[in-house]
Chains A and B, each alone.
Chain A
Amino acid sequence: MEERVVSMELTHTLAICWSLVRASVRGQMQYRTSFIMEVAAGLAYQSVGFLFVWAILSRFQALGGWTLEEIAMLYGIRLTAHGLYMLFFSNLFRIDDFVREGGYDRLLVRPLPALLQLMFTAVRVTVLGDLIGGVVILGAALARVDVVWTPAHALLLALAILGGALIDGAFQIGPAALTFRFLESWPLRVIFDDVFSRFGNYPTSILDRPARNVLTFIVPMAFMAYLPASTLLERETFLPLWVGWLAPAVGAVMFVLALWVFARASRGYQSSGH
């Protein structure tokens, strides 16, 4: 249903997205106090999560064989990937209400792909909290962790973060497609978000085998941080060491699949109201 984007169209589209982002940031900045509160709350949430890890590891030196620095690196990769995803797609969170109140119609009347508009209007600047938290933890970890930093490894780190963001995105955009059919998709989206946030910051190896397999082969959470981090640290996992390099590919595949599902479902959009 959407036409292909030619290169000149692409530049224009990017320019417009940038304008939308700037506009939405300006709009957000108007609510200054709640903005600060939300960023603070977000940072607090991250801090407590990591505080828990720190508390445990200060008493027990290793978790599943991973030391504090190593877990911090894993934590940081996942969090940064999540922050990167949120930076673009946080607005997807409200899609149920948006579609139900007829806001989606408004997007369809404009000469821009609806998903792009969803992404870039109402960017919640508070998600910067996630991204900042992730980068800080990752930075602190990278300084102390025992990794041989070759250009290849640096590339893997960057690709892992990108792949993680794509996987996170895939499991939000895909379920969001249900909103077009059922006017509601938040239960599924919340479940995925929860699983990734909860289990994704820890080595998948600590889970028992059935859970580990599900979270590697069915919902590829292990590819978000654990497998690439293991490759960087040259740690043995239940899979060969090079699997970590597949992370961006897995992300890309899942993401494209999710986009396809979303586009398909939006064709069945029935438009509520009236």
Chain B
Amino acid sequence: MPLIRAEHLVKEYRRPKQAAGRFAALRTLFTRESVVTRAVDGVSFAIEEGEIVGYLGPNGAGKSTTIKMLAGILVPTDGACEVGGIVPWQHRSANAMQIGVVFGQRSQLWWDLPLGESLQLIGKMYRMDAERFRCQRDMLVELLDMTSFLQTPVRQLSLGQRMRGDLAAAVLYEPPVLFLDEPTVGLDVIAKERMRAFVEELNRERRTTVLLTTHDLDDVERLCKRIIIIDDGRVLFDGQAADLKRRYAPHRLLDVVVGGDATGDLRDVAAALPFGVTPVARDEMKATFQIDPEVIPVARVIADISARVPVVDLGVREPPLEGIIREIYEAREVAR
């Protein structure tokens, strides 16, 4: 029984057609024509408990609209959705008790109050008894390293501190479902990593189901086994990240670092590569090669190159999702 379910979800926005010409503003008020945009156009997916799913798409694809319908903020125009067996827009409060939401752009905390008081208010709002609240709060404060700014008013916190606070607020009452909408936007590298580690731990310890919207593909690489790609309100891809890579970019990347005075040798190697290997990047001491494993095994290439140049360091990696996703956005259709 999937925890989060969307079936042919549709959300239309109706805006009055903007009249042009004289007195445009006034005429718009009296116009009968509306422009209908379908922000979400028949989205379906099912997410099981314990999954971390990346929800990707270009701006305006309909990601936030979908999340808002699952959170009970918007009422769908058509189709159905369910979270934990509850229809979000019909039983908004009941749904609210079982979800945690972090909006990257806006804080959920009380602006003028110290962080600690915000957490207390949330504890009360979600009917946590004192014992459980204290226990959860202390754990989160330690895990997210918030002791130093617990008493600071939220408006005085840095972005990283505030995001940690928002995250704590979202999981304080142990909701089974977590919606993260661009949670790492604007954070520095360390903060991003800390956030990702936290979400990963949450998923591991509590089997929290996470739906993550992001533009940062490092988030996805790190956390999501499953990816749903959406554009123009429609699902383009729904499957394992590994499948996506295999289908779209089955090659491997080999990074080679040479030592000593082998400067000329790397150039020679690049000029005379076996079939199925193409150079991607090269400078004096380092080079990256793209290998098609169907044509030539990676091990063979490694052996070949090691024989010709004094290799100091070497690494094999999968292609980054970045390129794949970009291609998909551009192609706008994936053959299943």
Contact = CB atoms under 8 A, between A and B. Distances in A.
The short answer to whether A and B are in direct contact, CB under 8 Å, is yes
Interface of A: 1-3, 12, 15-16, 19-20, 23-24, 26-28, 30, 101-103, 105-106, 108-113, 121, 267, 269-271, 273-274
Contacts, number: 79
Given A1-B90, A1-B92, A27-B112, A111 B106 contact: no
Quick one: which of B73, B74, B117, B153 has the most chain A CB within 10 A?
A: B73
B68 A106 contact: no
Nearest to B71: A109
A111 B110 contact: no
18 contacts: A1-B90, A3-B91, A19-B124, A23-B117, A24-B110, A26-B113, A27-B111, A27-B112, A27-B113, A102-B105, A103-B106, A106-B108, A108-B73, A108-B92, A109-B71, A109-B72, A110-B96, A269-B75
B71 A111 contact: no
Interface residues of B, number: 34
Nearest to B101: A109
Contacts of A26: 112-113, 117
A271 B106 CA distance: 14
B46 interface: no
A16 B96 CA distance: 15
Quick one: which of A23, A112, A113, A273 has the most chain B CB within 10 A?
A: A23
A30 B114 CA distance: 12
Nearest to A19: B124
Contact of A274 (B64, B89, B110): B64
Contact of A108 (B65, B72, B121, B153): B72
B127 A12 contact: yes
A2 B113 CA distance: 28
B13 interface: yes
A113 B91 CA distance: 11
A26 B153 CA distance: 11
A1 B101 contact: no
Given A12-B127, A16-B125, A269-B74, 12 more contacts: A2-B92, A3-B91, A15-B124, A19-B124, A23-B110, A23-B117, A105-B106, A108-B96, A109-B99, A109-B108, A269-B75, A273-B105
Nearest to A20: B121
Contacts of B93: 2-3, 111-113
Contact of B96 (A101, A111, A271): A111
Quick one: which of A1, A28, A111, A273 has the most chain B CB within 10 A?
A: A111
Nearest to A103: B106
A28 to B, nearest CB: 7
A27 B110 contact: yes
B110 A270 contact: no
Contacts of A113: 93
Contact of A121 (B92, B105, B106, B110): B110
Contacts of A102: 105-106
Nearest to B74: A271
A20 B153 CA distance: 16
A273 B65 CA distance: 10
Given A110-B96, A111-B126, A121-B110, A1 B89 contact: yes
Contact of A30 (B90, B112, B117, B127): B112
A39 B33 CA distance: 48
Contacts of B124: 15-16, 19
A28 B112 CA distance: 8
B179 to A, nearest CB: 9
Given A2-B93, A23-B121, A111-B94, A105 B113 contact: no
